[in-house]
Amino acid sequence: MVQRAVKTLTFMRRGLLLLVLALLLGGCSMLRVGYSQLDTVAGWMAHDYFELEPAQRDAFNRSFQRLHQWHRREQLPDYARFFGELRERVHRGTRTEDVQWMVNGVKARFATMAARAAPEAAELLADLTPAQIEILRKRFEADNRKFVREHRLDQPPAARKQAQQRRLLSQIRDWAGTLSADQEARIIALIQPLPLSESLRHEDRLRRQREFLALLEQRGNRAVFAPRLREWLVNWESGRSPELARAFDDAWRRRAEFYAAVDRLLTPEQRSHLTGRLQDYVEDFRDLAARGNTGIASGG
């Protein structure tokens, strides 16, 4: 079974354009209606994290519009191809290596977008005031409290396992349709040995936030700040300790094995439902890309 591929990285909110990158990768949940409104949503998010001054807000909006146009023109067709190949892999039966291929594909596309956004992000972030960075720090703290609450990190392992079970069953039903009682029982059995990886995600969030705040302290020297920001954005896993990196690798390996095992439980009707959902995304990406080309050609 394939998890919501384009939401895999949405926890990586990084500030200004960096916040928007997560939205763009999460675009499947906003397709057709929401994608065209990303400029409004992005502006709201940036202001929410920094309380931008009017001139900063205008600069952000101009930068994001350029990023959004590029993303629609260059990236959406690539997303359509990516989801098309994913559909073919699912159609023939999802294997462990297919899940890893998907994860690597999402990471590579995030890196492409991060590299594109980095130069203008550096210009915008360099103008932040100390007060705005303090606002960001407090927002991080609020987000972290919300993450702990939503993922029950302050509760016993049994409660966290129950929450994980509900979350995964909901995802699988969303993609494959209704599950039989026997399928649910088998999937629950497959869930039991999975690690409770939300604590790893929380640790990684805190690491990224610390790195970002430390990086912002160098914003006064733009010649140093800009390349370091780009490196931090593109190679976002590089700061993990060897222990944390190994834990993430193991968690993803076991999760990939889980989805491959669930895939083997699907009926032909459920597989058709799943591949149909993926095809819908392919068509949405193509449609949105075509709308952008039409708008550019007509001067809209």
User: Where do the DSSP E strands lie in 149-202?
Assistant: none
Q: What is the spatial distance between Cα 41 and Cα 20, in angstroms, rounded to a whole number?
A: 9
For residues 30 and 16, the model is more confident at 30
Contact assessment for residue 118 and residue 80, using Cβ atoms and an 8 Å cutoff: no
Contact assessment for residue 19 and residue 208, using Cβ atoms and an 8 Å cutoff: no
Q: What is the spatial distance between Cα 274 and Cα 244, in angstroms, rounded to a whole number?
A: 33
178-235 tens-digit pLDDT: 999 999 999 999 999 999 989 999 999 999 999 999 999 999 999 999 999 999 989 9
Q: In one letter, which amino acid is 195?
A: P
Query: What was the pLDDT predicted at 212?
Result: 92
What percent of the residues of the chain are helix, what percent strand, and what percent coil, each to the nearest 5?
80, 0, 20
Residue 85 CB contacts under 8 Å (≥ 6 apart), including other chains: none
What is the percent of the chain with per-residue pLDDT over 70, rounded to a whole number? 84
Contact assessment for residue 67 and residue 238, using Cβ atoms and an 8 Å cutoff: no
Q: What is the spatial distance between Cα 277 and Cα 273, in angstroms, rounded to a whole number?
A: 6
Question: Residue 209 has which token pair?
Answer: 């936030």
Q: What is the spatial distance between Cα 139 and Cα 157, in angstroms, rounded to a whole number?
A: 27
Q: How distant is the alpha carbon of residue 154 from its chain centre?
A: 24
Model confidence at 141: pLDDT above 70? yes
Question: Residue 193 has which token pair?
Answer: 């040995």
Query: What was the pLDDT predicted at 126?
Result: 93
229-255 tens-digit pLDDT: 999 989 989 999 999 999 999 999 999
Residue 73 CB contacts under 8 Å (≥ 6 apart), including other chains: 289, 292, 293, 296
50: confidence class by pLDDT, cuts 50, 70, 90: confident
Residue 94 Rama label (left phi>0; alpha psi -120 to 50; beta):
beta
Average pLDDT over residues 117-143: 92
Model confidence at 5: pLDDT above 80? no
Q: What is the spatial distance between Cα 6 and Cα 79, in angstroms, rounded to a whole number?
A: 10
Q: What is the spatial distance between Cα 21 and Cα 25, in angstroms, rounded to a whole number?
A: 6
Q: What is the spatial distance between Cα 43 and Cα 52, in angstroms, rounded to a whole number?
A: 9
Question: Torsions phi, psi of 151, nearest 5?
Answer: -100, 10
pTM over 0.85: no
- CA torsion angle 230 236 240 245 (round to 10): -140
Query: What was the pLDDT predicted at 38?
Result: 65
Which long-range CB contacts under 8 A does 130-136 form with residues at least 24 apart?
A: 132/50, 132/51, 132/52, 133/213, 133/216, 135/49, 135/50, 135/51, 136/15, 136/49, 136/50, 136/213
